Amino acid sequence: MTTRATASSLNLPIAEIVLAGPRGFCAGVERAIDIVELALDVCGPPVYVRKEIVHNPHVVETLRTKGAIFVDELDQAPDDATVIFSAHGIAPAVRDEAQRRGLRVIDATCPLVTKVHLEAIRYAREHYTIVLIGHEDHDEVIGTLGEAPDRIVVIDSAAEVEKLEVNDPEKIAYLTQTTLSVDDTRDVIAALRRKFPKIVGPSRDDICYATQNRQAAVKTVSTDVDVLLVIGAKNSSNANRLVEVAVNHGTRAYLINDVRDIRPEWLESARRVGVTAGASTPEVLVSETIEWLRHDSVAVREIRVVEEDVRFGLPQELERMARDRGVTVPSRNVMRQSI
């Protein structure tokens, strides 16, 4: 995949490419993609996936060519289908519908999203009003909201806290979408604590390790580059937050789906160009971006703020299907390279 011209042919002044690390796929995304591929091996195509398995069109298209069929709702899948729920999680009503229809279900919800769902269930059972910090139109928030719609209020900014009213200020809790800006979320939580001193929250931060690590890497790289290219889909929350983090640190930053989105005028005065990728972005898109930017005299340097070694196991229902059909389950100790 190439553009009509490269940085070299356009005589752009790039002297160094600075890569942010970590970047790209997180453990939840790795797991979700593995689930679809193994389900195709075990069950045979087609396998139906409700919503995008992860928010990246390149990943979705690759899986589609292997036999995955992506649908918006369960009524688009036939009654005898195998259906996979995306990494972003689902509302209980979706699970109930699948059970009523007798669909074979494999749940690819990221375990860190499942953690937020379980927290919502617990707080709801204890009769708390739950403030869910997140974007109300995001698949993850829609799924979490479905756990206790009568008890959850969604907000996405500190400004909304001032207008927030609850029945009992003594019984209020907060949760967060896993892919938010760490800094913005901290401000919202601080505002909530000022207004509701009795508010409680999860014992461990809901924002996932990968989101935090990628934002920390962007903060470090942003001080060292003239412009930052963030590779990710427009509907990827964590990729959009990486752009915001860089801009808030005074660095020009642009979200690109792939190299075809690069506009040469962004780079006309840039000697150091930073590159990173959202947690749903395959590394091959990073490699293509580097090749577009570099020429013989361009140095490539990586700045890593932390090493990641998180792995998540496969769903028990998929492992059981694989055993029953004699399909070998791939090792969880090796990072994927196929997409």
167 and 225 both lie in a single domain: no
Is 129 contained in some domain? yes
Q: Last residue of some domain: 139, 170, 195?
A: 195
**Per-residue pLDDT, 331:** 63
280 and 257 both lie in a single domain: yes
Tell me the angle at which helices 316-324 and 27-43 cross, rounded to the nearest 10 degrees.
Answer: 30
Residues 89-145: pLDDT tens digits? 999 999 999 999 999 999 999 999 999 999 999 999 999 999 999 999 999 999 999
Is 11 contained in some domain? no
Nearest-Å Rg of the Cα atoms of the chain is 21
Range of the domain at 61: 27-109+311-324
pLDDT band with cut points at 50, 70 and 90 for residue 329: confident
pLDDT band with cut points at 50, 70 and 90 for residue 5: confident
User: Which position has the higher pLDDT, 36 or 11?
Assistant: 36
80 and 167 both lie in a single domain: no
Q: What CATH number is associated with residue 104?
A: 3.40.50.11270
219 has a pLDDT exceeding 90: yes
134 and 219 both lie in a single domain: no
**Per-residue pLDDT, 96:** 98
Is 40 contained in some domain? yes
- List, by residue number, the catalytic residues: 140
98 and 120 both lie in a single domain: no
280 and 260 both lie in a single domain: yes
SS3 262: coil
pLDDT band with cut points at 50, 70 and 90 for residue 203: confident
CA distances from 84 to 54, 76, 201, 315 (A): 12, 13, 31, 11
190 and 216 both lie in a single domain: no
Q: Total domain count for the chain?
A: 3
Residues 220-240: pLDDT tens digits? 999 999 999 999 999 999 999
Distance CA 324, CA 315 (A): 14
100 and 140 both lie in a single domain: no
CA neighbor of 205 nearest in space, from 123, 119, 86: 119
- Average the pLDDT over 170-196 and give the result: 97
Is 286 contained in some domain? yes
Is 125 contained in some domain? yes
- Average the pLDDT over 320-331 and give the result: 86
Q: Last residue of some domain: 150, 166, 195?
A: 195
In whole numbers, what is the pLDDT of the chain averaged over residues?
94
231 and 181 both lie in a single domain: no
Please check whether residue 219 is in contact with residue 249, taking contact to mean a CB–CB distance below 8 angstroms.
Answer: yes
324 has a pLDDT exceeding 60: yes
Q: What CATH number is associated with residue 138?
A: 3.40.1010.20
296 and 243 both lie in a single domain: yes
82 and 130 both lie in a single domain: no
Please check whether residue 178 is in contact with residue 214, taking contact to mean a CB–CB distance below 8 angstroms.
Answer: no
Which token pair is 172? 């209020």
Residues 131-176: pLDDT tens digits? 999 999 999 999 999 999 999 999 999 999 999 999 999 999 999 9
51 and 133 both lie in a single domain: no
Q: What is the reported pTM?
A: 0.94
Distance CA 298, CA 19 (A): 13
Is 10 contained in some domain? no
Is 4 contained in some domain? no
Residues 46-65: pLDDT tens digits? 999 999 999 999 999 999 99
Distance CA 30, CA 258 (A): 20
